[in-house]
């Protein structure tokens, strides 16, 4: 599947038995003594951290969701993320533009970039044009703190865009294998040549994080919904 143009990725309810945001909403409503059921207006993807906007009014929810969609169409950037990357972008700021689509890989589907999507595939909504604005806020020890502002909404857009910068997010065990290195120089691998695996970090970075290679799979994705603009 995919997500319609302009729509936000659906909030994953989590796997059965997992603790998830939607499971916690009735408890949160009771704790706050709210009269109406709570539902999610805006939240980061399940693997990300950050702000969650909740509402007890369906009309308000619809208005806010329409605001986010309309703002992006007008060229505004109502959501801002922060991320820690492994690697520092060559340019201090810029834009990442690419088509994105779902591709079958074995038994799973993965999001892959389409650098020059054709008009027909865009019209059929097989591919979606995506754009993220980025700015380097700081860098040290081969890592960077980036501000990311997506102008489009597509599942896994930000992690995939970061691989195109050759700077995958710290804790990205899904897409970081697409960035290879030869003599310390990063290069992009095609998705089919880069199966999903636990992110590989050098010994120096592991030491600074206080992690052993065996603990690396527990390292969470360092992608954080930091700011939402509201009307």
pLDDT in tens, 79-117: 999 999 999 999 999 999 999 999 988 788 899 999 888
The pLDDT assigned to 8 comes to 52
> Each residue of 11-30: pLDDT tens digit?
545 566 677 888 899 999 99
* pLDDT at position 119 over 90: no
With a CB cutoff of 8 Å and minimum separation 6, the contacts of 76 are 229
Q: What is the mean pLDDT of residues 71-83?
A: 93
Cα–Cα distance, 67 to 176 (Å, whole number): 33
Confidence (pLDDT) at 231: 86
Query: Could you tell me the pTM of the whole model?
Result: 0.87
In angstroms, rounded to a whole number, what is the distance separating the alpha carbons of residues 57 and 39?
8
Coil vs helix vs strand at 150: strand
> With 90 as the cut, is the pLDDT of residue 1 above it?
no
Do the beta carbons of residue 225 and residue 49 sit within 8 Å? yes
Averaged over 148-177, what is the pLDDT?
95
Q: What is the mean pLDDT of residues 200-217?
A: 92
- Within 10 A of 62 (CB to CB), how many other CB atoms are there? 12
Give the number of other CB atoms < 10 A from CB of residue 199.
20
Residues 160-172 have pLDDT tens digits of 999 999 999 999 9
d(CA 162, CA 79): 17
Question: Residues of the chain with pLDDT > 70: what percent?
Answer: 93
Structural element, H or E, at residue 159: helix 157-164
Q: Comparing C-alpha atoms, which of 130, 178, 125 is closest to residue 154? A: 130
């Amino acid at each position: 599947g995919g997500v319609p143009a302009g729509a936000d990725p659906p909030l994953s309810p989590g796997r059965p038995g997992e603790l998830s945001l939607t499971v916690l909403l009735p408890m949160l409503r009771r704790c706050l003594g709210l009269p109406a059921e709570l539902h999610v207006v805006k939240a980061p993807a399940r693997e990300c951290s950050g702000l969650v906007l909740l509402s007890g009014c369906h009309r308000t929810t619809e208005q806010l969701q329409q605001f986010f969609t309309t703002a992006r169409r007008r060229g505004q950037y109502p959501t801002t993320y922060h991320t820690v990357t492994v690697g520092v972008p060559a340019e201090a700021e810029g834009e990442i533009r690419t088509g994105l689509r779902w591709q079958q890989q074995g038994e799973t589907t993965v999001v892959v970039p389409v650098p020059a999507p054709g008009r027909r595939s865009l019209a059929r909504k097989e591919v979606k044009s995506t754009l993220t604005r980025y700015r380097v806020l700081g860098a040290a020890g081969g890592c960077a703190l980036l501000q990311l502002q997506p102008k489009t909404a597509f599942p896994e857009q930000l992690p995939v865009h970061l691989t195109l910068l050759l700077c995958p997010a710290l804790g990205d065990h899904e897409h970081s294998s697409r960035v290879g290195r030869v003599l310390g120089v990063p290069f992009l691998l095609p998705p089919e040549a880069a199966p999903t695996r636990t992110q590989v970090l050098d010994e120096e970075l592991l030491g600074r994080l206080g992690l052993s290679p065996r603990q690396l799979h527990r390292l969470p994705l360092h992608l954080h919904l930091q700011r939402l603009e509201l009307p």
